[in-house]
Each structure stands twice: as structure tokens, then as C-alpha cells.
Amino acid sequence: MRRMITLGTLLVASLALASTAFAAKMIPVGHLAALTGPTSDVGIPYGAGVADAMRYINAQGGIDGMEIEFETVDYAYNAPRAVATYKKWISSLNPVAIQGWGTADTEALVKFVAKDEVPYISASYSGHLTDPTGKSPKTKAPAPYNFFYGPSYSDACRGLVQWAADDWKAKGKDGKAKFIHMGDNHPYPNAPKEACAAYAEELGFEVLQPIVYSLKPADAKAQCLSLKDAAADYAYLANTSGSNISLLKSCATVGVETQFLTNVWGWDENSIEATGAPGDGIAWVVGAAKWGDDAPGMATLKEISKMSDSSGKEERPLHYVRGVCATFFMKEAMKNAAAMGEINGPNIKKGFEQMRDFVPAGLEGVCLPSTWTAEDHRGTTMVNIYTSSYNGGDFEMTKEATVEVPRRDEWLGW
């Protein structure tokens, strides 16, 4: 069954701003999306989740009687374009918050949003965004106005290598398992590389030299042959699903038998279908409930989905659900801000930092419980790990483990 959300569906949803554009007072929000470019395979469904969630919030009366006025810009995963869009918004839209996307652009904007006091809720889960004060020696820069939903890329990779260490022992293997990082030479794939390798080494892995493969889908037989020659036991794929599909198919043709691991953007329902049997057994991070799970909040999620699918028949992929969760956490932070007297950037920041083991109302069992403080913007270190099997098209996603990664002080900002 195809679950891909079309670009047209998202554009229809995102171009409709608030349903009553002439309300007395609006809450301006920028929505930076990757509807085209090398990460659009996952950017389209995530962006649809963000847009549908904001439209649903407005349809339910908004926040403290005010509706969200949002503007969606497709920046095509181009960091300079994202910075230019941000500067334009600051002089025109004057947003109190931004729903953002990629690592390169989010990290490029850290100092801007801190200076302008604009909470930036990204779809980049770079560990570099988690230290609000800059106290950690690993921090690139203080990121007081950056938030994201789910475990950081670094913590997610740490969870995967913990699972891999347990898997190695369970299989009764002798000696050191070999671990390798694979991904493009780009801020997003590189974000967890050093942190994850350090933890893998701590757990007893032999860490091999990384292999580079493109974020753009392409034949990857050369990289697969290098992987085979390296005899890696576990390979972490740091790219998004489009390029992972190409890599897995290429590796199947040359007989690679490595256990593949990948991040939250690296695999999904569409990837399982598109890859077929070569993707069987891949282990990856799932950051929210799957569509149709038996969860109290699934009914609300399906109502949100109707904002761009009035039939209610579209089965939404994992990335859509995370987009909804990120937006509803923003909504709750705005509600907290309203209770302080005004929905503005500093109060929204404080609104996030009031949350303790919190799930947005109506999405219980769908979104992960999250906690942010003024000292630590790691919303969660809980890593849910699944594997998938194709089964001739009747595919399955099986939960293998939940790893609670240690919240070490020295890992803040890394």
C-alpha cells in the first residue's frame, strides 16, 4: 500500500493560512519546509503534519482565542535560502516561533534566533542544539531558543549501538564487533558521528573509518564493496530514506551481510515498500506511534489528518506523526505563554521549559513524554528501536527494544 503524501496535498494545506485571516489578533509562525531537494522524501510528510496540526489547532479555537497565522516556505534544503527566509520573516511576518527543518540551516540560525528571541522548533535533532547555556565543553554555541521533539541524533545513535551490543551478545559472538558510520559529508549525517563512535568504543566495539555516500539517491556499489571489505558487523546509515533505499539495494547486489542501523529519518513505511527484501532486518529509531496503533491519542491524530484528507482514508507515515507532535508541543508552550500574560518568544521558551514528562493533551500514547529545562534541552533520551520485514508487500514493523540512554552532563550539546 502506498503511503506517500503528494506535494500537491501539502501545498494545498500549507497555502491555506489561518481559517479566519482577519481575526482581531493572530499568532504569527514561520514554517520552513523541504518540499523539494534531497530530503523531500521525508520533508513532504513531516511538513504536512506540521501544516495540518496548525490548521486543526485553529479549527478548534486556536490558543487563548487567537489563531495561528503561518507561512510555509519551501527552501529546498538550501541553508542560505533558509537564512534569507528567516531574515525576511523577521522584518515582515515578525514570528513568535518557527517550525524549521534541516541541520545545516538550523545550526546556522542558532545565534540569530537567540538574539531575536524566537523559539525555533526544528526537525533537526542535532545534539549541538541541546545546550541552552553553552556550559558543556562539547557545545558549538549556546542554543537557548532551540527545541526539537524526540531524542537527539547522538542519543538515538547511542541507543542503536547499545541495542547492537546486546544483539552481539545475544547471538553469542566472540571478540569485538565492528561498527561503522556511513553518510554524506554534511552537517546532518555528521551530527552524531563523533558522539556515537565514542560510545560505541566505550561499549567495546571496534570503530572503523566512516564511508561517505550521497544524500541524493544514487548507485552505491562502490561504497557497498568498501563496506564488505571492511567486514563491518553493524553499519549506521546517517542519511535520509531516499539514499538509504539506493544503498541497501546496491549492497544486496554485492552480498553485504552487515546489520544496518539507521536514524529516525532513515527508514519508514515507504522505504520498506520501495526497498523490498534488501531492507529486511534494518533496525531504526521510531519517534512516535505508528498510524493505527492502539493509543488513546490516535483518534485525535486521525482528526488532524482530515485537515488535508477529508475522506480520512490516507494512512500517514511516521514522519507525519512527528510533525504533528512537534507542532502540538509548540501549541502547549504557547498556552503556557498565554497564561504568563502574552504569547511572545521569551514566554514560549519558558513555556517549553515548564514541561516535565509531558504529553500534549489529546495525543496520549502518540507523542513521547518530554521534558525541557532552562539548563537542558534534551527533550527525551528514550530511544524506541524497531526492525522491519517486507514479506512480499505485507510488511511488518516490529518493536525490538526501548533504550533509555544515560543523560550524562558531558553529553549535553554533543
DSSP string, 225-286: HHHHHHT-SEEEE-S-HHHHHHHHHHHHHTT--PEEEE-TTS--HHHHHHH-GGGTT-EEE-
- Which triple of cell numbers denotes residue 282? 534494518
Per-residue pLDDT, 18? 37
Helices and strands per DSSP (H, E), number in the chain: 14, 12
- Look at the chain and count its residues: 414
Q: Which CATH class is domain 7-152+293-352?
A: alpha beta
Q: How buried is residue 203: exposed, middle or buried, by Cβ count under 10 Å (0-12/13-18/19+)? A: middle
Question: In the chain, what are the domain boundaries?
Answer: 7-152+293-352, 154-289+382-411
- Which triple of cell numbers denotes residue 204? 567495546
Tell me whether the CATH fold assigned to 7-152+293-352 matches the one assigned to 154-289+382-411: yes
Which sign does the torsion angle of CA 127, 179, 406, 194 carry? negative
Q: Quick: pLDDT tens for 170-218.
A: 999 989 999 999 999 999 999 999 999 999 999 999 999 999 999 999 9
Judge whether 262 and 237 are in contact, CB under 8 Å.
Answer: yes
Q: Quick: pLDDT tens for 261-282.
A: 999 999 999 999 999 999 999 9
Number of other residues whose CB lies within 10 A of the CB of residue 225:
15
d(CA 157, CA 261): 9
Confidence of residue 7 (pLDDT cuts 50, 70, 90): very low
Per-residue pLDDT, 6? 44
CATH topology of domain 154-289+382-411: Rossmann fold (3.40.50)
